[in-house]
């Protein structure tokens, strides 16, 4: 099982590195290869996705938005969302409250 600050696969063409969390907030870095898809899902947590490099398309509640380096998406809790990498992309995702499902994939 991966540890904090180690890269691990989270889907075809997608890797993530989960950072040690605070008490109510957490973040991770994600790399996406061109054409990779973070399939549609939802969670009760609020999410900010900041695009460090590349270009990412977000589909949420039937609307499509594209963000490039230096831009970010806000995803409200329970919103169904899916992303597609339009180029090799690096993002930093921040969640509040903590995502126990993601933290459960990590060994300290």
Check pLDDT > 80 for residue 80.
yes
Give the residue-averaged pLDDT of 80-94: 98
Best CA proximity match to 15, nearest among 27, 39, 32:
32
Sheet with 37-41, side-by-side order of all strands? 37-41, 81-85, 55-60, 63-68
The per-residue pLDDT for range 26-37, each reduced to its tens digit, is 999 999 999 999
Give the residue-averaged pLDDT of 53-61: 97
Query: The whole model's pTM is what?
Result: 0.95
């Amino acid at each position: 099982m991966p540890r904090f600050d180690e890269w691990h696969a989270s889907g075809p063409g997608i890797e993530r590195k989960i950072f040690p969390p605070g008490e109510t907030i957490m973040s991770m870095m994600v790399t996406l290869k061109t054409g990779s898809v973070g399939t549609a899902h939802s969670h009760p947590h609020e999410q900010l996705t900041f695009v460090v490099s590349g270009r990412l398309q977000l589909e949420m509640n039937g609307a499509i938005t594209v963000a490039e380096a230096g831009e970010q998406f806000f995803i409200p809790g329970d919103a169904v969302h899916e992303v597609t990498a339009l180029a090799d992309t690096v993002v930093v995702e921040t969640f509040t409250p903590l995502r126990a499902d993601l933290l459960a994939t990590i060994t300290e």
